[in-house]
Amino acid sequence: MTELLENTILQLRRYTRLFEIFFILIGLSAGIYYSSYFYSPLQMSDWIIIYIMVVAVVLLDVYMFQIPPEGNSESMDSSVYLAAIFMFGGSFTLFIAMISFSFMALRGLALKTSFSKNGINLALYIFMIISADITYHLSGGVTGPFDFDNIYSYLIAIVVYSTVNILLISFLTVIYNGGSIKDTLLTYFRNSVFAYTSTMLLSLVVLILVDRSGIFGILLFLSIAMLLSVAFSKLFVIYNTISNKANMDQRTGLYSHSYFEEKLDEYICMYRTQDRTFSLAMLDLDDFKKYNDAYGHPEGDKLLSFFGNLVKSECESRDFLAARYGGEEFSIIMPGYTLEQASEFMNGLRKKVNHTPYDGVDVFPHGCISFSAGLLEINKETYDKSQLVDAADRALYLAKSKGKNMVSIYGEQDEPPQRLEHDIHELEQQVKIFLSKDIYTYKHSKRVYSYAVDMAEVLQLHEEDRRTLILGALIHDIGKLEIPRDVLNKKTKLTPDEWEMVKKHVLWGKEIVLATGKYKELIPLIELHHERYDGKGYPHGLKGNEIPKLARMLCIIDSFDAMTTERPYQVTKSYEEALNEIRRCSGSQFDSELAGYFITYIEKKYTIDTSHVLTS
């Protein structure tokens, strides 16, 4: 059911304009049909009430107050609509809504608000008014002056009106902004329930005031509601001011590290749900220590502030999110920017910084303020923010190693070949620990590593991915060091508890690598090489392109070697049988495209030179 809803939302998101037209037409049709079906001739006194209520609704729309999530607002006009439903009925209330929105549409034209936004708002109100009116009458409510005997009908209609409002707004929010429908609903309920409740209960106040004092009652309510709206707005401004202060770095005026991480999560989520791209840059001021040593920390702080303001002025006009990541390191999120556009921006920023005069820059080797930067564009294989930041960091430090004052793009940098050899040697020493604990895992790691070296060539990976696949293959099972020796070497089938323990090796492996502080770029392969293409793997149940490509490749290699290697509790398959199994599971357990490459590689290698076939 959830999957069906998500797929429906994805389809609607692709055709947003058509969906808007459909939504507005359905709302208007429902409103016109409902009001005409229950229509009764209006008296002059009715038109006076309609006119006064229209004025109230339009004024309350002007005096809206903001509510979470960010960018949303609430008006007390719902109090007027509900009071009109209770006193005059749904048909009468729809008249008020349609006339009010005609005025709001004119105001929207003056403010250059999109016509579709007003149309969707009108449709929303029509759905809420009709649902509340039907519920009110079905629950025994009688149209007319306030009557305590109708109290339950009032409350039920208010609840239905609020619920339809929250459901529809959450649905529209997910279509426009992405995210989980469940999380969005919870956010609205959790953060807005008191605002909604107070607004809805005010409808009873309006009803009583109108009943007792007529037009004066509406005017009295209008005055109170406008004052409350202004008070709520001021409170929200205070809240935002305090919140912004907590999210800002006081030294540079940029966003703080924690705010950057929070927003990076949101952008990754947005990318996945809406397929929107964005680029990330990590920046580091070149030779900042020299400046601090020469002029002292207070002057160094001034330089940080100066640089921060430069970055901020360039980013704000483009709606980029710039943050101080720590010390003299900064980060920029560039929504909607491809790698090429981001590279052009970053090099433009670098030149601007170079050409901006500043006192004391003669201590810098380049004779000007400069920074080095690492840059990357998010792709479908990114599954968490640490992976993104780490990759950008690696590109940044490569830019530093190449002489500074340059922008390096992740994946396009040339790695010194000797570094790979050194890393392989270093990781081999760690894998050798298995020699004393589990000889099978040691040999398995070496064979998977060997396959990975060949597959890196077959897939024509660039240097960075080649290095990641080879090193990741070598230590992908490093987490098994945490598993007791008797479980690792058990000759019989594992019990369910033992199997659950074995499955945790991917998470333990991740913890081991994080603890060393080195080779963090290998974590996706260590943590995700047991994820299945159909989402039935572990530890996270990721599926399809949510799993990084190299982890999908490693999954195939790892499975092939496990199938063709003699183990105490499983029947060993021949190469042909294992390839047939991979064929059978292509598209379910394995990525079919990568499986095809691997099958071709093994068939070719097996046919040409069987003496090189690896055995345990």
What does the DSSP assignment read for 1-70? Answer: -HHHHHHHHHHHHHTHHHHHHHHHHHHHHHHHHHHHHT--PPPHHHHHHHHHHHHHHHHHHHT-EEETTT
pLDDT in tens, 275-286: 678 899 999 999
Cα–Cα distance, 222 to 422 (Å, whole number): 76
Cα–Cα distance, 93 to 418 (Å, whole number): 78
pLDDT at 383: 67
Q: What is the largest CA-CA distance in the chain?
A: 100
Tokens 């902004």, residue? 177
164 φψ region: left (φ > 0), alpha (ψ -120 to 50), beta (else)? alpha
pLDDT at 73: 64
The amino acid present at 524, given as its one-letter code, is: P
Cα–Cα distance, 83 to 203 (Å, whole number): 5
pLDDT at 400: 83
Task: Give the mean pLDDT per block of 10 residues along the chain (616 residues).
Answer: 66 74 87 82 74 81 64 72 87 87 74 72 90 92 86 89 86 74 74 72 81 78 77 73 77 89 83 76 92 89 92 90 92 90 92 90 85 86 76 85 84 60 81 78 89 91 87 91 84 85 91 83 91 92 87 94 76 85 92 93 70 43
Confirm if 307 and 216 have CB atoms less than 8 A apart.
no
pLDDT in tens, 29-69: 888 888 888 777 767 777 777 888 888 888 777 776 665 55
Residues near 83 by beta carbon (within 8 Å), at least 6 away in sequence: 203, 204, 206, 207, 210
Helices assigned H by DSSP within 178-274: 181-213, 215-247, 257-274
Cα–Cα distance, 488 to 461 (Å, whole number): 34
Q: What are phi and psi of 79, to 5 degrees?
A: -60, -40
Name residue 334's beta-bridge partners.
279
pLDDT at 315: 92
Cα torsion angle, 49, 51, 52, 58, sign: positive
- Sequence length of the chain is 616
Q: Which of 506, 534, 542 is closest to 595 using CA atoms?
A: 534
Q: What are phi and psi of 331, to 5 degrees?
A: -140, 150
Confirm if 512 and 500 have CB atoms less than 8 A apart.
no
Cα–Cα distance, 488 to 468 (Å, whole number): 26
Cα–Cα distance, 472 to 478 (Å, whole number): 10
Between CA 329 and CA 333, with CA 331 as vertex, the angle to 5 degrees is: 175
Q: How many CB atoms lie within 10 A of CB 417?
A: 10
What 3-state class would DSSP assign to 375?
Answer: strand
pLDDT at 270: 74
Confirm if 171 and 181 have CB atoms less than 8 A apart.
yes
pLDDT at 71: 57
pTM: 0.55
pLDDT at 273: 65
Cα–Cα distance, 104 to 115 (Å, whole number): 10
Tokens 């077959």, residue? 458
What 3-state class would DSSP assign to 72?
Answer: strand
Q: Which of 48, 74, 71 is closest to 60 using CA atoms?
A: 74
Question: What does the block give as tokens for 319?
Answer: 């709606």
Cα–Cα distance, 72 to 111 (Å, whole number): 18
